[in-house]
Structure 1
């Protein structure tokens, strides 16, 4: 029996006819899945906006028809104040993080966040866009979430300060008798303010798995807030932008009202917005649409505006601040997602 040399041995064993070789199943590469996911996320805002436009088309049509006969110069001023509102939001976002963010991308992200904010309630859409933007800038998730919490806390506090300043500055011009809530409403509001922290403390006490992440988040948020308030370059945009936001929103409403002949002053319109948004701002509605609108109309009527003119002003305000920038904002949102900024 002769042995074969090593270099002449077969390198593969013959396959048995009874056991056929399995055919490899097609596996979708991770890059393909990522591309499909990004394409879906890119097109989803456009689909949502299209569905919303179909559902609320009558409001868009009626508002555009009413604005067609308004003073164009006042409407142009309203558009100007609307653009300043995005700048103020970008300033507050920058003031809530120690890192310096690119101004152009930051402003574009807030423009896109405005479109997302009108789709999801309670500012969830805007916060989600900003959270992805901050993470894309290399900010860890815990610190980015703390930034959103600081942003959400500073805005109502600054609005309350502006409201008190208006009440002190215009004690005689503004008639508040019909707007002062009764004792039962004040009691319910005070109970809600006390009940919230009590429920949070009970949850942390009873549900132990929540205790450690909640305490860690609070420590991170307090550390970030303490650091930011030692830097004037962050304190000024944070609090200045938050205080300017309701003034700019009120200026948009006043511009639309003046274009239609609303018989109210700028101070009355701004105070009406402050009171309405403070009273029903906690109701979760997309972009505050719905409850805040009804409260605005009621407040302006209490100040002496005709019902039909106040309603037309609010409809025109929503058309100017929601529907006019909605499609461009959605396109910017899709572009930021496509370019992996978000």
Structure 2
């Protein structure tokens, strides 16, 4: 004979305010401690980078202490203009309208994120997250980043060619070009990498559908962007302005430190060094800096002056904006803009 069922017990008393619901698993990302750690991680990253490079940072600061402050102030203005130009290119690469203030803040924060990942990946990661929070689908956001990178590299090459066509500095650069025996292996490796990247979606079936969707989205957005004169001006005008603004910053630093080269040669050296080795995935542009010092010396600057100018350029463009950039990045994370 079955025993009668036990009467239901009294309902559970509610816990104290703020106590977790035993029937509900708390979300890890909703935890206050995790959110705080995410907000503080850029600051910790900036502090670790400064400690790891303290000798270089100290040397650059000592050399810059005796520089002309007015030229350095002008260089700082060009650094701010570079962020504005980057924001113009980002907006020009996308048909959707983005909030200008948040877009500019995201590009300022992206500069700090570039120290975490090489080859501009940090800036692209921040921009991708910003576009996703603005309601842009992942495929279209990724396509806009690809268009940004393509237009920026193309515009930089065109600006370099324009300077070479109108400047006698091309003779000096001609002497710096590697011989055919050294250039052919590099071109072969680059061509092989491009062929392999293009063949992967064809050979691997799981990649075919995402790759096709990406190509369709990229082509559709590129056509729409280039059908709007305002977007074309923002995209290509900003892309052409970015290397010129960066080169102007180097000219200002060189003038402040007594580099002793005409501004045209400094601009050509900057464009040539960045175009030649800008694709090397080195954090902080180490390969670009080495090529830039070598090119400035080839134009007639002393090695000490060239090295000091490049260090000063990095201080002004990367190291000084690093702390405020990480603060902006943390603020955007806390505000859930990223």
Q: Aligned pair 1:12/2:7, yes or no? A: yes
Pair 1:209 & 2:219 matched = no
Q: Is the 8 A contact 2:75 2:253 kept in 1?
A: yes
| Larger CA deviation: 172-181 vs 124-133 | 172-181
Which deviates further from its counterpart, 199-208 or 240-249?
Answer: 199-208
The Cα of 1:280 is off from its aligned counterpart by 1.2
Partner of 2:288: 292
Question: Cα deviations across residues 279-311 of structure 1 (Å, max 9, x unaligned)?
Answer: 1111111232x1111000000000000000000
Distance apart, 1:32 and its partner CA: 6.9
Q: Give the distance between the partners of 2:169 and 2:211, measured in 1 at CA.
A: 46
CA shift in 2, pair 1:150/1:173, >3 Å: closer
Alignment deviations for residues 124-148 of structure 1 (CA, whole Å, 9 cap, x no partner): 1101111111111111111111111
TM-score by structure 2 length? 0.91
More divergent stretch after superposition (290-299 vs 182-191)? 182-191
Q: Please, what is the CA RMSD of the aligned residues?
A: 2.1
Consecutive unaligned residues in structure 1, runs of 5 or more? 1-8, 16-23
Select which of 314, 318, 331 maps to 2:327. Answer: 331
Q: Is the 8 A contact 2:169 2:268 kept in 1?
A: no
State the TM-score, normalized to the length of structure 1.
Answer: 0.90
The structure with the larger Rg is: 1
Q: Does 1:234 align with 2:231?
A: yes
The residue aligned with 2:149 is 152
Q: Aligned residues, how many?
A: 325
Q: Distance in 2 between matches of 1:172 and 1:56?
A: 34
Paired with 2:206 and 2:6, the residues of 1 have a C-alpha distance of 58
Cα distance in 1 between the residues matched to 2:29 and 2:236: 44
Distance 1:307 1:140, change over 3 A: same
Give, in angstroms, the shift of residue 118 of structure 1: 2.0
Out of 88, 91, 102, the position equivalent to 1:91 is: 88
Deviations 1:201-257 (A, max 9, x none): 332232111111111111111111011000011111111111111111111111111
The change in CA–CA distance for 1:13 and 1:248 in structure 2 (over 3 A counts) is closer
Residue in 2 that maps onto 1:121: 118
The 8 Å contact of residues 147 and 221 in structure 1, kept in 2 or not, is answered as yes
Decide whether the 8 Å contact of 1:114 with 1:329 is kept in 2. Answer: yes
Contact 1:297–1:310 (Cα < 8 Å) also in 2: yes
Identify the residue that residue 3 of structure 1 maps to in structure 2.
Answer: none
Task: Find the aligned partners of 1:284 and 1:331 in 2 and give their Cα distance.
Answer: 25
Unpaired segments ≥5 residues, structure 2: 11-20
The CA distance in 2 between the partners of 1:115 and 1:295, in whole Å, is: 23
Aligned partner (choices 272, 276, 281) of residue 273 of structure 2: 276
Find the aligned partners of 2:180 and 2:29 in 1 and give their Cα distance.
Answer: 61
Per the TM alignment, residue 193 of structure 1 is displaced from its structure 2 partner at its CA by: 4.0
